[in-house]
Copies of this chain bind each other. A is one copy, B any other.
Amino acid sequence: MAPTLEDVARAAGVSRSTASRVLGGYGPASPDTRERVRAAATRLGYAPDPAARALVTGKGYRLVVAVVGLDPAVLDDPYVDRVVRATAEVGARYGIGASLQWLPMDSAPTVLHRLAGDRSVCGAVLVNTTEAVLRALPRSLIGRVVSIGIGWPGVPSFDVDNGGATSAMIQHLYASGRRRIAMVTGPAWMPCTQRPIDAYQAAMVAAGLPVRLVPGDFTAAGGRAAMLDVLDRWPDTDAVFATSDAMALGAIAVLRSRGIEVPGDIAVAGFDDIPFASYGVPALTTATHPVERIAAAAATAVLEQTWMPPVTAYPSELVYRESA
């Protein structure tokens, strides 16, 4: 059915090994041979069988998206969906599939070793990883693992510039006259929580404004709880920056139920720009999160085995709507 390397070699009048070398792009080959093999390959529409290749190289044929978390519920998240989708889409172009699995925070070493020993796995994309997990990374995985989140020596990081987004958002709130700006953060164990906090604190201190930090968990329920907390501790708050749209929507729900006007009394800004941020009342002011671009780049890096700088930051853009 599909042409094999043998077919290409025969068509080009060379041996299988020569064809393999040319197509693999290593070993020696005369320019002429090179040309003939390439031509034959494209003419026949040759694509190497990843299974056969995996068998001999022992490198595997599926890319695992491993989401770090305390329980399997971390997989049940539209953010994860977007990462997996982008990975599956990129993989399709390489004949590589995407697998999704939970990487339990407390038994990360075990699971990572199993992953490293699994011949079917060609690489992994870590999501929401922590330093502890990265420290437990088996050496044999280095070079075929990337991280959407914080990096590690040998593990390039792909992430949104959420520090920059935070600065920009605080500046926007300040410019629109807000002075008592609270921030709802992500859960403390997630490393992606820190940079926005730093950026927020820096901005507030620089402007001589009070720092009002409340922990959240990226969910709407968490946003509701955090908003109640803010109202309780600092009743004069005039703006809230929630580091996820879900939390921002939860916060707005609380304010609405209290009869507090948004953005009249309190401005609320989110982060992520989820599909329906624009359909709430009021429409949510937020910052974009190019998850698909990030995940696609991450997947491509491990599939192409390209060298990557330790950190690649993707810019986030403010989306001005009604809530702030």
Contacts and interface: CB of A to CB of B under 8 A. Distances in A.
Interface string A94-125: 01111111000000000000000111100000
A60 to B, nearest CB: 7
A62 B117 contact: no
A51 interface: yes
A274 B274 CA distance: 12
A73 interface: no
A199 interface: no
A19 B168 CA distance: 63
Nearest to A51: B54
17 contacts: A1-B117, A2-B118, A47-B118, A49-B120, A50-B61, A62-B91, A65-B88, A75-B85, A75-B89, A84-B85, A84-B98, A85-B100, A88-B99, A97-B98, A97-B99, A253-B279, A256-B281
A92 interface: yes
A273 to B, nearest CB: 13
Given A81-B82, A84-B85, A276-B276, A49 B119 contact: yes
Interface string A211-252: 000000000100000000000000000000000001001101
Interface string A73-90: 001001011101100110
Interface string A277-293: 01111000000000000
A27 B87 CA distance: 39
A11 to B, nearest CB: 18
Contacts of A1: 117, 119
Contact of A51 (B60, B81, B249, B274): B60
A26 to B, nearest CB: 22
Given A49-B55, A82-B81, A101-B92, A276 B249 contact: yes
B62 A55 contact: no
A28 interface: no
Interface string A27-57: 0000000000000000000010111101100
Given A62-B96, A63-B97, A252-B279, 8 more contacts: A50-B120, A51-B51, A51-B119, A81-B82, A81-B85, A91-B99, A98-B100, A246-B275
Contacts of A301: none
A203 to B, nearest CB: 28
A64 interface: yes
Contacts of A220: 276, 278-279
A217 to B, nearest CB: 15
Contacts of A280: 276, 279-281
Nearest to A256: B281
A116 to B, nearest CB: 8
A249 B88 contact: no
Nearest to A113: B1
Interface string A113-157: 000011110000000000000000000000000000000000000
A109 to B, nearest CB: 16
A84 to B, nearest CB: 5
Given A51-B60, A279-B280, A118 B89 contact: no
